[in-house]
Amino acid sequence: MAAGPAHPGGRSCAQMPHLGKMERMVLSMQDPDQGVKMRSQRLLITVLPHAVTGNDIVEWLIQKYCISEEEALHLGLLLLRHGYLYPLGAPCSLVLQLDGTLYRFQTPYFWTSTLWLATELDYAIYLAKKNIRKQGALANHEKEHYDQLHRKISHMWDLVVMQAREQLRAAKQRRKGDRLVIACQEQTYWLVNRPPPGVTSVLEQGPERGACIVRRVQMTKNMDFYKWEIQYCRKALGRIRVKSSVCLEAYLKFSSQHGPHDPIMSGCLPSNPWITDNDTYWAMNASSVAVPTKLRVERWGFSFRELLEDPVGQAHFMDFLRKEFSAENLSFWEACEELRHGGQAQVPALADSVYQQFLAPGAARWVNIDSQTMELTLEGLGRPHRSVLDDAQMHIYMLMKKDSYPRFLKSDMYKALLAEAVIPPETKRRVFPFVWKPRRLSSPRPASFPASDSASGDTAAAARSPGGGEGEA
């Protein structure tokens, strides 16, 4: 692989969410109480603190995420290949070993999500430093890169050699253990950003799009390729597109509808708790109140999602469904939400409980879903996970949105809620609430009185002084 200019950090926008998940996992692994147990390890005669073994990493992943050993090994390998872990010693390849091989967590400065450039100059300094330290004993691909960079940036090669020697001189002043750790960190970083030939670069082929790239590369331009391209273009032509005028009308409608309900745009009633000491606004809009405000009840009519996201609206909608003998639909939706956001260890038990209560034949609160969705759900319940009931939940959600929700908005219950809703009274406010009021001074400032009329100034000062006429000019 020729050393060429890299993208900023080598990261695409599509990869950033995956890198964020990996980094949160690495932070939890380094937790002093619940993370991987780190200890000082001896490597020959050097003691290295905060080291872990491959077995410790795999066992922690199995216990933390309730996954198999194979999945934990694959997850640990991904962390290693993305540079969040590095092996101690001489890391020629990033492979997770389940023996006594020691690993450490990479410093955040070298994390894959950093946006600083892995430039050719930095790589040239690294290779020059390694060439001086090992007296020319570089790997074959490193020798090729070294020669290419020497020819490409020959005009500044003196700077490269000077920087390499200066870094080596500074490294000799450190402890042996620190020198070994820094060398392994740097080598791991360049193994990620400049991988050896034959090794897939995780920066160019991320986990979210690797299958698509492989499929497109393997597809040659034969008859099947052109058929696929024609079919793709036909689908693109039939895709629904919206005019910009329609989009702007929708934005205007949304803004006019939500404008009165925005506390920044329309103000807060009865008073603004951000700039006053009155917290009545928070109390009236709490998650559970006896009588909601009129603006809050009106918001339930904007969309079904607005109704379900409000605990008070969801409770009133449940009362309405009980009167229509279909409360099990909302209960099933709530149970699916609990499964999605619950603990990982409770997922199998929660999935089985939801199935027995709502989907099993003869269930006490059976919900009606179509046969195709039921087949997909039963197939997924063989290996339950957080999203196993998503299809069934979406079916019930659309059923309530298209059937129960319109009837709720037209019902007497919703009209009564609108009529009985609280309209907060507006407190009396100043016309200019942010006008600065000068402080009352105990004695006047000299600049407050005109210098031309000293006598009148002395009289005014005597009249305003705390001691009455006792003050002298």
What is the 3 state secondary structure string of 343-403?
A: CHHHHHHHHHHHHHHHHCCCCCCCCCCCHHHHHHHHHHCCCCCCCCCHHHHHHHHHHHHHH
Average pLDDT over all residues of the chain: 80
Relative orientation angle of helices 157-172 and 176-193, to the nearest 10 degrees: 140
Residue 91's pLDDT is 63
Q: Partners of 39 in the beta sheet?
A: 51
Name the phi and psi angles at 261, rounded to 5.
-100, 5
Residue 424's pLDDT is 83
User: Around 400, how many Cα atoms within 13 Å sit in the side-chain half-sphere?
Assistant: 27
Residue 443's pLDDT is 44
Residue 15's pLDDT is 63
Residue labelled with tokens 């400032």: 445
The string of pLDDT tens digits covering residues 209-266 is: 444 444 444 445 788 888 888 988 888 888 777 778 888 888 899 898 888 888 888 8
Name the phi and psi angles at 451, rounded to 5.
-75, -20
Distance in angstroms (rounded) separating the CA atoms of residues 131 and 429: 75
pLDDT tens for the 473 residues of the chain, in order: 334 444 444 455 556 677 888 888 999 998 888 889 888 877 666 777 888 888 889 999 999 889 998 999 999 888 888 888 888 866 667 888 887 788 888 888 888 777 566 788 889 999 999 899 888 788 888 889 889 999 888 888 999 999 999 999 998 888 888 888 888 888 888 888 888 888 877 776 544 444 444 444 444 578 888 888 898 888 888 877 777 888 888 889 989 888 888 888 888 888 888 888 888 888 888 888 888 999 999 999 999 999 999 999 999 999 999 999 989 999 999 999 999 888 888 889 999 999 999 999 888 899 988 989 999 999 888 888 888 999 999 999 999 999 999 999 999 999 999 999 888 887 655 444 544 455 444 444 444 444 444 444 444 444 444 444 444 43
Look at strands 102-105 and 39-43 and give their pairing.
Answer: unpaired
**Which tokens hold the place of 11?**
């990261």
**Nearest alpha-carbon partner for 390 in 353, 339, 326:** 339
Residue 117's pLDDT is 66
Residue 4's pLDDT is 40
CA distances (Å), origin 308, targets 205, 299, 318: 40, 11, 10
Whether pTM > 0.75 for this model: the answer is: no
Going 98 to 100 to 101 to 104, the CA torsion angle's sign is positive
Name the phi and psi angles at 41, rounded to 5.
-120, 150
Residue 274's pLDDT is 84
Residue 410's pLDDT is 93
Residue 276's pLDDT is 84
Residue 444's pLDDT is 46
Residue 119's pLDDT is 83
- pLDDT over 90 percentage in the chain: 22
